[in-house]
Amino acid sequence: GENVEQHPSTLSVQEGDSAVIKCTYSDSASNYFPWYKQELGKRPQLIIDIRSNVGEKKDQRIAVTLNKTAKHFSLHITETQPEDSAVYFCAASRANSGYALNFGKGTSLLVTP
């Protein structure tokens, strides 16, 4: 089955700096890669996603890049703010498994003022 590795497990940055979280996956059939943000005590919520036919996608301060050949994808957050503090999960999935998500273990991001 699919194995998703996520690094780092914790990340602390100063407000205004950039944060980068990296994930690798093992199943070359995976074709959909979402990122979820989970605030303390809350449910995970989608913040950005990318499909395998796209190399990069951006939405305001967040961007995701995908390298299919190397089987890795990354989340980039620029101009971080304290409200970006949360746990971030990457995931990989494929259409023929109903897009059931295989998650990384999560990155706890702390943005200090």
Which residues of the chain form contacts with another protein (CB under 8 A)? 1, 6, 9, 32, 34, 43-46, 49, 89, 93, 97-106
User: Measured from the CB of residue 95, what is the shortest distance to another protein in angstroms?
Assistant: 9
Distance CA(36)–CA(88), nearest Å, equals 6
User: Measured from the CB of residue 87, what is the shortest distance to another protein in angstroms?
Assistant: 9
User: Measured from the CB of residue 84, what is the shortest distance to another protein in angstroms?
Assistant: 19
DSSP codes of every residue in 72-83: EEEEEE-S--GG
Nearer to another protein (CB atom), residue 49 or residue 78: 49
User: Measured from the CB of residue 36, what is the shortest distance to another protein in angstroms?
Assistant: 8
Distance CA(86)–CA(78), nearest Å, equals 15
Nearer to another protein (CB atom), residue 74 or residue 97: 97
- Assign residue 47 a region: left if phi > 0, alpha if psi is -120 to 50, beta otherwise? alpha
Q: Residue 83 — φ and ψ, nearest 5°?
A: -70, -5
Nearer to another protein (CB atom), residue 19 or residue 50: 50
